Amino acid sequence: MISAVRLEAASAAVTVLSSRGEVTDWTARYFGQWWDVSSVEASSAGAGPVVVAVVDPSEYAQLTLQVHDGRHTKGVEYAGNLMLVARDEDDIIATSPDEAIAYRSSPSTGRVELSSIGGMELAVAAARMAREVIRGQLLRNGWVVLHASAVVRPEDGATLLAFGGKGAGKTATAMLLASAGWQLLANDRVLARPTGDRGVEVVPWPAAAALGLGLVDALGWGAAARGHLQEGGSFHPTQHDSVTESLLAGDFAPLWEDDRRRERKVQVWPDQFPELFGVELATGGNVAGLLFPRVEADASPSVSDVTHLLGLGEDDFVSGVTEDRYPDVFELARGVDGGGRRSARDEVSARLAVMPHLRVRLGHDVPASVAALEKVAGTV
């Protein structure tokens, strides 16, 4: 039996089809908290964008052979794995040996087919591809992808975006405000577009949220995370085993990769925020201000205007130029940069430039940091 779910975000839509229920269940769980997701009849997929995912070792082997069959092949990194990409007339074909997944994309129709030898790997890849199909449509329709966290005030939809490089405190800022009653819209990326004469509308970019062990503990979420695991629950499968072991042991000291350049973090499913931590999620909002956080362990939290900042830099847009784990090798955006068209980025940047800009210094004193952020929130 073929199961099907339809995803809709703003003006974009895609249907995911699979003979494996775990594939469509995974997609529904991953996106259902932030985008519109509904079960549909497989026959209703029609000619629109569709992702078809099947467990079929022979089809996987055949498509992998096609990739290597004398064609010009390009190796790219996609979702942290090596992917070999080639063309078959108008289609793009690819294989990811480490994941044992093969792909065929037909850019003119938005149809992407995936074949694999295993169900779980296929579920992850199909959901990821469905999100890329949605992104491709939105980029073509004038949306951009900002490298920012975002929280929404539930009473009026006013949205605060937090910008900064890795380690600046974007995630901490969003989680602190979320713990104070704001709704979480984005942990690290957000889709945005100009609206009306001067506004900027935002919608979520669904993804698992990466939270440092120290942050989880500081927010008072450690007991809930540990209890969830003790009761047989789990977090997102990308979470490193050492993080799970630390949570079970009640040890919230930071964990690092061997090169100490990357912290191992708790990987939280979207639906676990309201379920485990009491944090509500937002499905959209309108930008009211920009925050530029900086976290210093012994700092006294403070807020200051930085109205001299005019516009955003390249690093504030997610694109192939900056950081993008999902380059558009399947031509779903049809040539539009992964961060959006230049004209759209310039317009969003110009509109954000005239909104309130506030520099926020946060310390490890959570109540004091929350108080400083609530002061900021009262000004927008």
Counting residues of the chain whose pLDDT is more than 70, the rounded percentage is 96
Q: The tokens of 197 are what?
A: 């004469």
* DSSP string for 108-163: TTTEEEEEES-HHHHHHHHHHHHHHHHHHHHHHTT-EEES-EEEE-TTT-EEEEE-
CB 14 within 8 A of CB 50: yes
CB 305 within 8 A of CB 358: yes
| 3 state SS of 176 | helix
Q: Three-state SS across 319-367?
A: CCCCCCCCCCCCCCCCCCCCCCCHHHHHHHHHHHHCCCEEEEEECCCHH
Q: Which amino acid belongs to residue 30?
A: Y
Q: Which element (helix H / strand E) includes 185?
A: strand 183-186
- Taking the C-alpha atoms of residue 95 and residue 55, their distance in angstroms, rounded to an integer, is 14
Per-residue pLDDT averaged across 44-61, rounded?
89
The DSSP secondary-structure symbol of 376 reads: H
- Taking the C-alpha atoms of residue 178 and residue 370, their distance in angstroms, rounded to an integer, is 10
| 3 state SS of 144 | strand
Q: The tokens of 162 are what?
A: 């937090």
| 3 state SS of 83 | strand
Q: Which amino acid belongs to residue 31?
A: F
- Taking the C-alpha atoms of residue 23 and residue 191, their distance in angstroms, rounded to an integer, is 25
pLDDT at 331 over 80: yes
Per-residue pLDDT averaged across 332-348, rounded?
92
Best CA proximity match to 264, nearest among 308, 310, 216: 216
- Its pTM stands at 0.91
CB 100 within 8 A of CB 108: no
Q: pLDDT tens digits, residue range 175-187?
A: 999 998 999 999 8
How are beta strands 357-362 and 190-195 bridged, if at all?
unpaired
Query: What value does the mean pLDDT of the chain take?
Result: 90
Alpha helices in 36-86 (DSSP H): 57-68
What is the pLDDT, as a whole number, of residue 359? 87
Q: Give the pLDDT band of residue 338 (cuts 50, 70, 90).
A: confident
Q: Give the pLDDT band of residue 323 (cuts 50, 70, 90).
A: low
The DSSP secondary-structure symbol of 205 reads: -
- Taking the C-alpha atoms of residue 314 and residue 165, their distance in angstroms, rounded to an integer, is 12
Q: pLDDT tens digits, residue range 266-291?
A: 999 999 999 999 999 999 999 999 99
- Taking the C-alpha atoms of residue 44 and residue 41, their distance in angstroms, rounded to an integer, is 5
